[in-house]
Structure 1
Amino acid sequence: MPDRWRSPVPDDWPRLVDAHCHPVLTGDLTDEAFAGLMGAGQALESMSTVALRRWCAPVLDLDAHAALDAYLARRRELGAAEVNRRLLSRAGVGDLVLDEPEGTDLEATLTAADARGHRVVRLEDLAAGLLAQVDPPALADAVRSELSRTDAVAAVTLAGVRSPSVGGAANGPMLGARPLADSSLGDLVGTTEPEERADDPRWHTWLAFAALEAGLPLQVPLGHVLAPGRPIFGDPLALRPFLEATESLGAPVILINSYPHHEIAAVLARSYAHVHLDIGRVMRAGGDLSARVVAEVLLAAPFGRLVYSSDGYGLAEHHYLAAVLFRRGLGTVLHDLVVRDEIDRATSDRLTRAVSRDNAVRAFGLGETD
């Protein structure tokens, strides 16, 4: 690996656009809460903690590979505000596309990162808020009206979409090929409880079509972490009918958190002109070993359809690690291709900027300042 990639943030690397993330928590955390947010759980000897000790420890004035206990003690000593400032300001991220759950602090995150923020609207929350103001038959028009005025938002997301599963395997479509008629949507809302709608693909399908018809980029999560920290995954192939039906609408669909189905998601991006996918969460979880995921995605996906994301949530370490390891992973893959004369340096540099920044700027309509 060239010396310029040994730095966490090479001087000549463009500032990243983080295409999907969440704000950090501003309060001090117990060690148990920190471990839970890191996703370590009982597996403290994992690549995520190896990466934490290697890359985050020096930012907190510790030696690289410092023991985890020493890292946690230093984190407590500095306090959450200083840890957030150090890690976020050194991540090399210029824009954050932020999904803002309760309990997080968007403004504190942007200040610490010295980055532009772009809010994401959760479609389910938007619809729920409107349903408190209008009767079910009027919901469709109310949602469309609200979406037509949401010109400041970078994207919308179906945060609650789930793939029905049996034994952990996908057993049905997350989104369908045809939305309900407005009258049928009113009937659905009027005869079901929110908990029932949360598991109903018809509900999510209607919201997704409404967003895309309004010209808004749509984020579709393929991976989630349940309360105990146990992940569930959606099968990207189940989205094919939906993607077929929405391609002509032209608005981008961004498949987020596609690992371990990233290769299938990459093929979908190659097959449908409006489909994008992110490279992110797996980077912070897999350390340098996740460079192979970058290679596997590049194998199939069009270069213009890849975006970076951290899926950082709560911890500044998420944001920092994902950014550092993304640059190292992409840099390693492209350097190897240049050395083998598979691509020239100019193409490598153009691809680096595209995946790091330009693709997301275009997909989300962010405008350019970098």
Structure 2
Amino acid sequence: MTTGPVHEALAGARLVDHHCHGVVTGDLDRPAFESLLTEGAPWPGISPFDTPVGIAVRRHCAPLLDLPRHAPADVYLARRAELGAPEATRRFLAATGTDVFCVDTGYTPVPLTSPGQLAETANATAYEVVRLESVAEAVASAGVEPDAYAETFRAAVEEAVRQPGVVAVKSVAAYRTGFDLDPVRPSDPEVTEAARHWLADGGRLADPVLVRHLLWTAVDLGLPLQLHTGFGDADIRLHRVDPTHLTDWLHLTAGTIPVLLLHCWPYQRQAAYLTAVFEQVYLDVGLTLHHVGPARARAILAEALEITPFRKLLYSSDAYGLAEFHHLGALSFRQGLAGLLQERVDADELSLPDALRIAAWAGGDNAHLVYRFSAAS
């Protein structure tokens, strides 16, 4: 691999992972590991190891388990089990070179490490991101009258974000309704009527009016808002999660809160457009990076940075469940961004001092600017 000053700088940089999840706390057999290796469901006769991310795990994670590169899946999993989950997790998290994790705690179908446990294992600092849909669903489960829903939800969210270490909120509207929503703040009667139907039917929050209300409540809170966009599991209707569907809402919310577009693939160019024309919009290509691996990370980042202002790109892994994803996300980001910037330096399209500044901004400085971690400590 070609190296240069930018590679050296990014290889040694301490990162801020502005959006991730916890790691499974127990040992994993092959079916359990493979279920976490894919955003879909494993198919009979087709192993998730035979995917770009599966190949990347065997290539780039095996050496951290004292195995040769490209170790076969069975050998890899046997060695992982021999070391045990705590030791494997420690190795992968240490290898990320991450100083700060911002952890979404709103999705835990299996037991995961808490932000504090993640930080302790990685010798880092962790902050929490509150998932708004989880708060709304907890309010509904506790019991609330439709005409009191809006006030009760707001009070519950305000209580959640007052907890020590909370730096942002997140919405998974992409999974529930998509973004082709009426951008206008819903009226009180509209919210009450929508709550009446949702509370009677139960289930996940997927009412368009209540999702709009949730997004506008986030604006009122004043904290950065993370929005899942693009690639996700089979609940996503991909054509409805193009972030440009948010354009009218972004016009209406201009001058309010930072909006962080997460993941973005295959809409990284559309997201880049939004960062270029809206002061409050930022992006990352987390989740994408570990799924494409270091081999394609540079290409994804190149498209994201075609027009994105350099102070608008952040790093995230969006690692969930497998500590391998934390490692792959960081490695893919470092190698991909370094290759892209070094190429521009070598072509005299970018000075080396500018390239080093951009690398430092994306690796952590931009996240510090948005989240103001010292105020949440």
Structure 1 length-normalised TM: 0.89
Matched, 1:280 2:293: no
Deviations 1:108-130 (A, max 9, x none): 32221122111111112212333
User: Shift in Å at residue 173 of structure 1?
Assistant: 3.6
User: Shift in Å at residue 3 of structure 1?
Assistant: 6.0
Q: Equivalent of 1:115, from 124, 128, 134?
A: 124
Q: Equivalent of 2:262, from 238, 256, 260?
A: 256
2:374 matched residue in structure 1: 367
1:242 matched residue in structure 2: 249
Deviations 1:285-305 (A, max 9, x none): 112222101111110211111
2:92–2:323 contact (8 Å) kept in structure 1: yes
Matched, 1:140 2:150: yes
310-319 or 141-150: which moved more? 141-150
Q: How does 1:326-337 map to 2 (within 5 A)?
A: 326-337=333-344
1:175–1:201 contact (8 Å) kept in structure 2: yes
Distance 1:175 1:117, change over 3 A: farther
Distance in 1 between residues matched to 2:57 and 2:50, nearest whole Å:
11
User: Shift in Å at residue 35 of structure 1?
Assistant: 1.4
2:99 matched residue in structure 1: 94
Matched, 1:10 2:17: no
1:169 matched residue in structure 2: none
Distance 1:5 1:316, change over 3 A: farther
SS in 1 for 2:254: helix
Q: Equivalent of 1:187, from 187, 193, 201?
A: 193
Distance in 2 between residues matched to 1:190 and 1:128, nearest whole Å:
14
Distance in 2 between residues matched to 1:230 and 1:126, nearest whole Å:
20
Distance 1:23 1:77, change over 3 A: same
SS in 2 for 1:66: coil
CA RMSD, 1 decimal: 2.5
2:64 matched residue in structure 1: 59
Letter in 1 for 2:79: R
Letter in 1 for 2:127: H
2:353 matched residue in structure 1: 346
2:18–2:316 contact (8 Å) kept in structure 1: yes
1:283–1:291 contact (8 Å) kept in structure 2: no
Distance 1:146 1:362, change over 3 A: farther
Distance in 2 between residues matched to 1:159 and 1:221, nearest whole Å:
6
2:135–2:157 contact (8 Å) kept in structure 1: no
User: Shift in Å at residue 175 of structure 1?
Assistant: 4.0
Identity of aligned residues (%): 34
SS in 1 for 2:128: strand
Matched, 1:270 2:294: no
Matched, 1:69 2:67: no
Distance in 1 between residues matched to 2:96 and 2:181, nearest whole Å:
35
Distance in 2 between residues matched to 1:89 and 1:9, nearest whole Å:
16
Structure 2 length-normalised TM: 0.87
Matched, 1:162 2:152: no
Letter in 1 for 2:190: S
Q: Is there any run of 5+ residues in structure 2 with no aligned partner, and where?
A: none
Distance in 1 between residues matched to 2:151 and 2:19, nearest whole Å:
28
Corresponding pairs, count = 357
1:122–1:158 contact (8 Å) kept in structure 2: yes
Q: Equivalent of 1:104, from 101, 109, 112?
A: 112
Q: How does 1:26-65 map to 2 (within 5 A)?
A: 26-39=25-38, 41=42, 42=46, 43-65=48-70
Letter in 1 for 2:337: L
1:167 matched residue in structure 2: none
Q: Equivalent of 1:208, from 186, 203, 215?
A: 215
SS in 2 for 1:338: helix
User: Shift in Å at residue 5 of structure 1?
Assistant: 7.4
Letter in 2 for 1:187: E
1:155–1:364 contact (8 Å) kept in structure 2: yes
Letter in 2 for 1:280: G
Letter in 2 for 1:75: R
User: Shift in Å at residue 177 of structure 1?
Assistant: 1.3
